[in-house]
Structure 1
Amino acid sequence: MFPEAVYYEPDALGYPLGVKLREKYGEKSWIEITSHNSIEELQKKQNSEFARLKQYLIVGTRKTHKYVENHKVSDFLVPYTSSGCSAMCLYCYLVCNYNKCSYLRVFVNREQMMDRLVKTSLAAPAPLTFELGSNSDLVLENTVTENLPWTIEEFARRGRGQITFPTKFDMVDALLPLDHRGKTIFRMSVNPDYIVRRIEIGTSPLKSRIEALNKMNEAGYQTGLLIAPVILLEDWQAMYGALIDTLRAELSDRVKKTSFIEVIFMTYSYVQNAINKEAFPHAPPLFDKERQTGRGKGKYCYREPLRAEGELFLRDRLEKALPEMKLLYIV
Structure 2
Amino acid sequence: MTDTQGIDSGAPARPRERPMLDIRRIYAEPAAVELPRGRQILERWPDAEVIEVASHWRIPELHGDETNVKRWVRIKTEALVLGIKKSLTARPNGRSADFIAPSLSNGCAMACAYCYVPRRKGYSNPVTTFVNIEQITGYLARHVQRQGMKLEPNQCDPDAWVYDIGENGDSSVDAAISDNVRDIVELFRDLPTAKASFATKFVNRDLLDWDPQGGTRVRFSLMPERIAKITDIRTSPISERIAAIDDFVAAGYEVHVNFSPVIVVDGWLDEWREMLRQLDAGIGPAAKAQLKAEIIFLTHNEQLHEVNMGWHPKAEDLLWRPELQEAKRSQNGAWNVRYKSSTKRRYLDDLLRVIDEETPYVQVRYAF
TM-score (norm 1): 0.94
| AA of the residue aligned to 1:30 | V
Deviations 1:22-72 (A, max 9, x none): 111111121111100111232324233322332311111111222211112
Identity between Structure 1 and Structure 2 (%): 26
Q: Give how far 1:154 is off.
A: 2.6
Q: Which residue of 1 aligns with 2:327?
A: 294
Deviation string for 1:89-134 (max 9, x for gaps)?
0000112222324221101111100000001101113242111011
Q: Specify the alignment match of 2:36 in structure 1.
A: 16
Q: Secondary structure at the match of 1:145?
A: coil
Equivalent-residue separation in structure 2 for 1:230 and 1:207 (angstroms): 17
Q: In the alignment, does 2:209 pair up with 1:209?
A: no
What's the CA shift for 1:217?
Answer: 1.0
Alignment of 1:288-327 (within 5 A): 288-296=321-329, 297-327=334-364
Q: Counterparts of 1:302 and 1:190 in 2: how far apart (Å)? A: 19
> What does 1:215-234 correspond to in 2, within 5 Å?
215-234=247-266
| Residue segments in structure 2 that go unaligned for 5+ positions in a row | 1-18, 151-160
Alignment of 1:101-116 (within 5 A): 101-116=124-139
2:144 matched to 1:121? yes
Q: Which residue of 1 aligns with 2:104?
A: 81
Task: Spell out the pairing of 1:1-331 with structure 2 (5 A cutoff).
Answer: 2-42=22-62, 43-46=64-67, 47-55=69-77, 56-127=79-150, 128-157=161-190, 160-172=193-205, 174-285=206-317, 286-296=319-329, 297-331=334-368
Q: How far apart are the structure 1 equivalents of 2:126 and 2:204?
A: 20
Q: 1:277 Cα shift?
A: 0.2
Equivalent pairs, count: 330
CA contact (8 A) 1:121 1:159 kept: no
Query: Once the 2 structures are TM-superposed, how far is the Cα of residue 185 of structure 1 from its aligned partner?
Result: 1.2
- Residues 282 and 182 (structure 1 numbering): CA distance in 2 closer, same or farther, change over 3 Å? closer
CA distance in 1: counterparts of 2:357 and 2:270, whole angstroms: 16
Contact preservation (8 Å) 1:271, 1:298: no
CA contact (8 A) 1:5 1:28 kept: yes
TM-score, structure 2 as length reference: 0.85
3-state SS, counterpart of residue 201 of structure 1: coil
The aligned residue for residue 9 of structure 2 is none
Q: Secondary structure at the match of 1:283?
A: helix
Which ranges of structure 1 fall in alignment gaps of 5 or more residues? none
| TM-fit CA distance, 1:224 | 0.7
Cα shift at 1:159? 6.6
Secondary structure of 2:57's aligned partner: coil
Deviation at 1:158, TM superposition (A): 5.2
